[in-house]
Amino acid sequence: MTPPSRRRRAFAQVDVFTEVPYRGNPVAVVLDGDGIRDQDMARIARWTNLSETTFVVPPPCDDADYGLRIFTPGGEIPFAGHPTLGSAHAWLEAGGTPKKPGQLTQSCGLGLVQVRLRDDGPAFLAPALRRSGPLDDAHLDRIARGLRVDRARIVGHQWVDNGPGWAAVQLASAQEVLALEPDEQHMRDLTLGVVGAYPDGSPEQFEVRAFALPQGVREDPVTGSLTAGLAQWLIGDGSAPRGFRVGQGARLGRQGVLTVEAQGQDIWVGGASVTCVRGTLEA
């Protein structure tokens, strides 16, 4: 079978949740993804070997500014936070004009996602959770084994799944989160976020780590979708303020910072982005 002809397509690699290049979470953005076959999108995502690679495609409905396909090295997922913000950043830099001033609408596997444009970087509206509520005992036992912690050190737990499949546990402190040395063998079936609080007066209020081996990601540097789900959980039960900052990525040599702001029933997750690579990709 003759492979389809390739052409040059605008490409950017954007570092998300940082103002300093190479300290956040990179996303590869193919700005003209129209016509690329699904299997080729998956192949490109495995090749970039980033936690996510996105493909901007024509909007499927009048309400959207563009469509977005999101792939991990393990396959396509319906939604992710840092790809949403990094793709919005790249689309705007490439001359994209939102239909409504100050905001844009992305269509992805989860549906329509609202993105608010701010001076300090875009923020997305946290989508409704697909699954919530406490984790069962068997799942908690697997998590404790995977994290190599006594189950008693898990002080809170919840499903916070808004597309990727996140389950989440809370430890007593940010330092406990940073000290984790997970057992990869026991983490292979877990899509897991871990959160712990910093002492009062710290620049960030929480530290987060994210593990997603089922999607081909051993540890994600900085994770918007997880933070969105955590915010819905922690603000909802009163254990977090309605505005706070999250640190993530320190164990991977990054310094990601995410901002969370609740407005009424809406929760917005945002942060700065910076483009590190511009060019073309042949596909």
pLDDT digits 0-9 by tens, 74-131 = 999 999 999 999 999 999 999 999 999 999 999 999 999 999 999 888 999 999 999 9
Long-range contacts from 1-6, C-beta under 8 angstroms, 24+ separation: 4/37, 6/282, 6/283
Domain range for residue 158?
137-265
Please give the pLDDT value at position 98: 97
Please give the pLDDT value at position 221: 95
Taking residues 255-269, what's their average pLDDT? Answer: 97
Count CB-CB contacts under 10 A for residue 131.
Answer: 13
Please give the pLDDT value at position 4: 63
Same domain, 118 and 22: yes
In whole angstroms, give the CA distance from residue 264 to residue 269.
14
| pLDDT at 64 exceeding the cut of 80 | yes
pLDDT tens profile 40-57: 999 999 999 999 999 999
3-state secondary structure the chain: CCCCCCCEEEEEEEEECCCCCCCCEEEEEECCCCCCCHHHHHHHHHHHCCCCEEEEECCCCCCCCEEEEEEECCEEECCCHHHHHHHHHHHHHCCCCCCECCEEEEEECCEEEEEECCCCCCEEECCCCCECCCCCHHHHHHHHHHHCCCHHHCCEEEECECCCCCEEEECCCHHHHHCCCCCHHHHCCCEEEEEEECCCCCCCCEEEEEEEHHHCEEEECCCHHHHHHHHHHHHHCCCCCCEEEEEECHHHCCCEEEEEEEECCEEEEECCEEEEEEEEEEC
Please give the pLDDT value at position 195: 98
Domain count, the chain: 2
Same domain, 119 and 169: no
Structural domain contains residue 117: yes
Structural domain contains residue 132: no
In whole angstroms, give the CA distance from residue 38 to residue 234.
37
Structural domain contains residue 28: yes
| pLDDT at 269 exceeding the cut of 60 | yes
Same domain, 62 and 114: yes
Same domain, 49 and 103: yes
| Contacts of residue 170, Cβ cutoff 8 Å, sequence gap at least 6 | 154, 155, 156, 157, 194, 195, 196
Same domain, 88 and 202: no
| Contacts of residue 6, Cβ cutoff 8 Å, sequence gap at least 6 | 282, 283
Same domain, 160 and 251: yes
CATH number for 19: 3.10.310.10
pLDDT tens profile 155-192: 999 999 999 999 999 999 999 999 999 999 999 999 99
Using the structure block, give the residue that is written with the tokens 């009048």: 62
**Amino acid letter for position 3:** P
Structural domain contains residue 131: no
Same domain, 68 and 90: yes
In whole angstroms, give the CA distance from residue 256 to residue 221.
8
| pLDDT at 278 exceeding the cut of 80 | yes
Structural domain contains residue 60: yes
pLDDT tens profile 194-253: 999 999 999 999 999 999 999 999 999 999 999 999 999 999 999 999 999 999 999 999
Cross-strand bridge partners of residue 245: 259
Structural domain contains residue 1: no
Taking residues 124-150, what's their average pLDDT? Answer: 97
Structural domain contains residue 57: yes
With bands split at pLDDT 50, 70 and 90, how would you rate the model's confidence at 5? Answer: confident
Same domain, 105 and 151: no
Structural domain contains residue 175: yes
Please give the pLDDT value at position 133: 97
Instruction: Decide if 48 contacts 27 (C-beta within 8 A).
Output: no
Same domain, 45 and 103: yes
